[in-house]
Structure formats: structure tokens, C-alpha cells
Structure 1
Amino acid sequence: MDLQFFLCWRVAPLFLLMPCGLHCMSVRILDEEPVHVIPGSSLVLRARIEHGPLEGVSMVTWAREAETGASAARVTLATCPGRGLKCAGTKPSVRVNTEQQETTLQINEYSRADSGVYAVTVRDLTGAETTAHCIVREYEAVHHVSVSINVSHSSLVCGEAWGTDPSFSWLHERAAISQTVGKVSKDGTTLVVTMTPICGHFTCMVSNKLGYSSATYTAAPCETEGRGTTAAVVCLVFLLLLFGGVLAFLLWRRHRQNNRGERLHEHLDDTI
């Protein structure tokens, strides 16, 4: 008994020094914020619940409020009370699945009105609550692509208004950028032109999951382009002249043969 009393006396302070070891509860949303959702698709948020062996979850609540605005109203989306944690959504499009270690929120047919700051609140058996937040925004298409030139640095800069996860790529005369033309930055927004002089058409294409848009910077025509056009015109004129000469020769030969036939026929008539 003395040994048991001694062990209890030594172990009890350890529990007092470990307030979050066995009794504290925490929750965190696993999705990296901000979460962007394409309109018409489903929003899914997953949260992990951490608690000690002596704790349990008595209620889980999902809610949403506007991302901006001082008087933003908080809207409750679903509550999961009781030991069974049976969840009840406030709308048919809202579904929640909750266990002791994890909770998942799903909203079908996502629209712009569903954007905002989402909060999941977990209450333990003693009534203490902990909350985690996540920002959710609408997935936007790319808009208003523009290209500007920085003459001092011999570079072209591509800009885009507010699209989600834009991806940048460059073309020169409708072909991919080669080392002789220039070098594209890691983020794709800047093209450092190494060719001299800067000439031709430079096109910046910006795309994401919803489509793409482009803008073109036009410099002076390249010499190779002018030479190629001139050569094509000269070749075409030569072919036309050659064809015309052959056609004229054939017509002349046919006319000559007809004349010889007529003279021969007249000579035979005179002889008879």
C-alpha cells in the first residue's frame, strides 16, 4: 500500500502538468486554403479531430460567414449532436459525415453564394469548444490578358486580371519559344528576349481549368519573314510566266499546223 500511495503521489502531478495530454481537444481542416471550387461542382472539406483517450466529442457544427464585411451573418450549415453524431443539414444540398476522429462537409451544386469563411466547431463532453476555419472562393476563369514591353531590359511582361491558378506560355510567330528567341521566367509571366533586333509577333497565352485567353505584342517584321515573302512572290511570278509561255507555244504550234493543213488541201484541189 505504501508503494501504491507513493506511485500515485508521484504520478498525479504529471497529469496536472499535462493539461493537453489527455483532456484537450483540437480540430484542423485538412484542405489547404484558400479552396477554389468550380461553379456547379461539389465542395468537400475534411477536418481532423484530435483528442485524448479520456475525451469524447459531444457535438460538431459546420457554419459559414462572408469573407469580408463587419456585419457578416453566420449561417449554420449542419449540426451533429449526441453520441451517435447523426448530422442534420439545413439544406438538401448539404451533407455531413462525422466520426470521433474526422468530419466531412459536402455541398453539391456549388455557387458563388456558397463562398466565404467556413468554420467547424467541436464540443467535448465538458462543453469546451474548439474551432478551425477555411476560406472558400469561386474558381474564376482567366480575364483581360495583356502584354507590355520593358525596353531597358529587353523583356515582355504578361499580365492577367483575376483568374484562378493561371498558367502562362509564350509563342513567337505561332511557334514555341526557342533559345535563339529568348528565355521564359519560372512563373511564365516574363519573356526575356535575346534575339536582336526584336521583331515579329509575341503571343502570351494564359489558361486554367475553365479555358484560356491570349494577347499579342507586335514588333517590326523580321527580315527572314520579308525575304521569305519576296521569294514566294518571285517564285509565283516565275511559274505564271513559265505557264503562260508554254500555253502560248502550244497555241502557236496548233495554229501553224492548221495553216499547213489548209495550204496542203488547196494545193491538192489545184492539182486535181
Structure 2
Amino acid sequence: MSHRWSVSLLLLLLWPSWYHCMTIHFQTLQPVYAFPAECLVLQIQINHDSTEKIAQIRWERETGNMKDPGNLGKVTLITFPGQAKGLDGRLSLDQQGTVLKLEGFGLMDSGVYIVTVTDQGGAETSAQCVVKEYEAVHHPSVRLNVSHSSLYCVEAWGTDLRFSWLHEQAAITDAVGHVSPDGKTLFVSSTPICGHFTCVVRNKLGHSSATYTAEPCKREGKGTTVAGLSLILLLVCGGALAFLLWRRYKRYSNRGQRLRDDFEDNTQIFSAHSPALRWTQNHT
């Protein structure tokens, strides 16, 4: 019995050293994408009880990849309390070391950011966050799957990509086909595939596009429509020409009639008032 009490008393005395309930986590569990030349901000939240005192917060970064272990490296960036600045003045801490700010983010700043919190007893708690550079759209391409009557848009670069499709520079309609939920695949309804299909890839840094060109689409009834329009135009022009000729003929006809009438009237007047005519009449 006395032995059990001794063990219980020893565990009670050692309780503060082995009982550790501090937890930390980043604001997001997803990878963080930083824009080139802009400011990267990482923030952590520390959960602990009032008896636990924070002795140090250490920020580190691990770069490289597992396929090339020789390029793996883990460096200490900044600590709190301790350094006021880091990385040639680009790095700083705020809010008691829980907020990391990195000015002028570049590709070399990508990696796994690790923050370690040490309490007054020397116990450490860590959390990590993956940081990548936000990449612009590069050069997409379009591939044809003949067996499935579909077009697939491929983009190997870029972050947060959004896909959309155009047919003959117009939005896709049900008559043309439908797009997959992720926007990468266009299932074409018409057979055979014809015309120009353009895939447009966008993100926050811009957009780029690629076009697949098939055989020109045949427009049904196009020849009949053109012939009908040509006939109507010919009839209109013929009617207008006939009307102009009729008006011209009518105008000249009226003018000739007026000239004849005027000539006859003048002849009668001349005959009635002629002296020779009056002398002849008087001597008859």
C-alpha cells in the first residue's frame, strides 16, 4: 500500500513536466500561394492554458524535394524573442511572433514553413504550412479524342486555373456540345466535328488560349438563301430601272405633245393675221 502511495505522489510531483496540452495551427490547412514580388503573410494560433508560458517561437523553412535529397535544406528564418528582422530586412514578426511577414516574395522563398513553439519547460510543439509561388498561365493546348468526340484542354503550368470554351468565337451552346464540370473537356454533339474550337485558360495573373481547327462547317440552306436574295435583288433593280425608263419616256412624250400643240396654235394665229391673206379675201 505504501508503495502505491509513493508512486502516486511521484506522478503528482512530475505532472507539470509531462502533461503538455499546448497546440498550434496555421489559419489554413491548404497550401498558400503567394504572388511574385508581393508580401507573404503567415499567421498561427497558439492554444495553451494559463500555467504554460511560451519561451520561444522559431520560424524555419525547408526547401527542395524528396526526389533530390541533396537539395533538401532546413534553415531558421527568425525567432521571437530575438531577431527583429531577417533575410536582409525582408522578414519580420508581429503579434508576439505569431505573424510572419515576408516582403518581395520570390520563387526561392517557396517551401515548407515550420513554426516551433517552446514552453518554459523545454517542450516543443510544431506546425507546418506549404507555400508556393502563384504561377501565371503558360501555353495551353487542345487535344482531340476521336473515339469519344471530345476535345481536351491541357495546361501544365499555372495556379488556380479556370477553363472555358468557344466555338467560332461564340459561347458553347447545347447544339454544339457540353463541358465537363472541371471545364477541361468539351464533349461535341455535332458529327463530324467542324469549325474552330478555342480553349481559354484564366487565373488571377491573366489568360491564354489555344485553338483546334477542324473542317469548315457546312451551312445547310446557305446556297438556297443566297440564290433567293440574289433573285430578289435582281427583281428590285429591274423594277427600279423599268420605272426610271418609263418616267423618262413619259416626260419626253409630254414634251413632244406640247411642242406640236404650240406649233399648231402659232400657225393658226399667223394665218388669221397675215396681210396677204386679208388682201386676198378683200379682192375676192
**Structure 2-normalised TM-score?**
0.74
Q: Could you list the per-position Cα deviations for residues 36-74 of structure 1 after superposition, in whole angstroms to 9, with x for gaps in the alignment?
A: 122243322122334455422111122335334635665
- Consecutive unaligned residues of structure 1, counting only runs of 5 or more, are 1-5
Question: Does 2:79 match 1:79?
Answer: yes
Aligned AA (1:218): T
Secondary structure of 1:260's aligned partner: helix
* Distance change in 2, residues 1:248/1:7 (3 Å): farther
Q: Could you list the per-position Cα deviations for residues 159-201 of structure 1 after superposition, in whole angstroms to 9, with x for gaps in the alignment?
A: 1120101112233344444444434323222223343333333
Aligned to 1:89: 85
For the Cα contact (< 8 Å) 1:79–1:89, is it kept in 2? Answer: no
Q: Could you list the per-position Cα deviations for residues 18-50 of structure 1 after superposition, in whole angstroms to 9, with x for gaps in the alignment?
A: 976x33644333323421122243322122334
**Structure 1-normalised TM-score?**
0.77
Secondary structure of 2:105's aligned partner: coil
Aligned to 2:161: 166
Secondary structure of 2:64's aligned partner: coil
Moved more, 147-156 or 168-177: 168-177
For the Cα contact (< 8 Å) 2:17–2:121, is it kept in 1? Answer: no
The equivalent position to 1:134 in structure 2, one of 111, 129, 133, is: 129
Question: Does 2:217 match 1:222?
Answer: yes
CA distance in structure 1 between the partners assigned to 2:13 and 2:135 by the alignment: 51
* Distance change in 2, residues 1:180/1:240 (3 Å): closer
Secondary structure of 1:233's aligned partner: helix
For the Cα contact (< 8 Å) 1:31–1:45, is it kept in 2? Answer: no
Tell me how many residue pairs correspond in the alignment. 260
Aligned AA (1:42): C
The equivalent position to 1:234 in structure 2, one of 227, 236, 245, is: 227
Question: Does 2:44 match 1:47?
Answer: yes
Question: Does 2:261 match 1:268?
Answer: yes
For the Cα contact (< 8 Å) 2:64–2:73, is it kept in 1? Answer: no
User: Larger C-alpha radius of gyration, 1 or 2?
Assistant: 2
Q: CA RMSD in A?
A: 3.5
CA distance in structure 2 between the partners assigned to 1:107 and 1:130 by the alignment: 23
Aligned AA (2:100): L
Cα deviation, residue 98, structure 1:
3.7
The equivalent position to 2:63 in structure 1, one of 57, 61, 66, is: 66
Aligned to 2:32: 35
Aligned AA (1:58): A
